Amino acid sequence: MKQVFLSYHDIHTDCIKLAKLIKKKYKPKKLILISRGGLIPGSIIANYLGIQDIDVIALKTYSDRRKNTDIKIFKRIKSEKKLVVIDDLVDSGDTAKIVKDMMPNSKFVVLYAKTSGKKQADLHLYDFKDKDWLVFPWEQD
């Protein structure tokens, strides 16, 4: 497994790039952030876009760098509105599938996409291989 270390500067710069694309393509009035990975990127993007209306979906798909066999959903949102959902990364695509089930008209937007889950993201900035492990600066290791 190849580790890819991302800095706060990397994340901030990428969030601004992604925010500009979101503004062009979707012009959202509200954002949904995926807890926990999407909280920091979502906050930066919301600030750039001037969006105050934010909600959170809380779920857990990983534990100690291992994929959980059953996904735990702590907070869900059901909506038919066209909403933009922000996460840091699409890996297998499981989170995106859950989000699209809860909110079928939503757009799932991430900074980074791995090969296996890439098709589940409606918009992303950069591609990574499945064997890459992205290490975000706020993660404890």
17-42 confidence digits (pLDDT tens): 999 999 999 999 999 999 989 999 99
CATH number of the domain where residue 42 is located: 3.40.50.2020
Per-residue pLDDT at 60: 74
In a domain, 139, yes or no: no
12 vs 25: CA distance, rounded Å: 20
Known catalytic residues?
A: 87-88, 91
Residue 73 reports pLDDT greater than 80: no
Q: Are 33 and 55 in contact (CB under 8 A)?
A: yes
Residue 77 reports pLDDT greater than 80: no
53 to each of 20, 49, 134, how far by Cα in Å? 18, 11, 29
E strands, 26-122, are 30-35, 53-63, 66-75, 84-90, 107-114
Q: Give the DSSP letter of residue 99.
A: H
CB neighbours of residue 13 within 10 Å: 13
In a domain, 17, yes or no: yes
Domain that holds residue 108: 2-50+58-134
Helices (DSSP H) in 67-123: which residue ranges?
94-102
Q: Structural domain tally of the chain? A: 1
In a domain, 74, yes or no: yes
Question: Could you tell me the sign of the dihedral formed by the alpha carbons of 92, 98, 101, 107, in that order?
Answer: negative
CB neighbours of residue 109 within 10 Å: 29
Q: What is the pLDDT of residues 101-138, one digit of tens each?
A: 889 999 999 999 999 999 999 999 999 999 999 999 98
Residue 93 reports pLDDT greater than 70: yes
In a domain, 141, yes or no: no
Could you tell me which residues come within 8 angstroms of residue 139 by beta carbon, excluding any fewer than 6 positions away? Answer: none
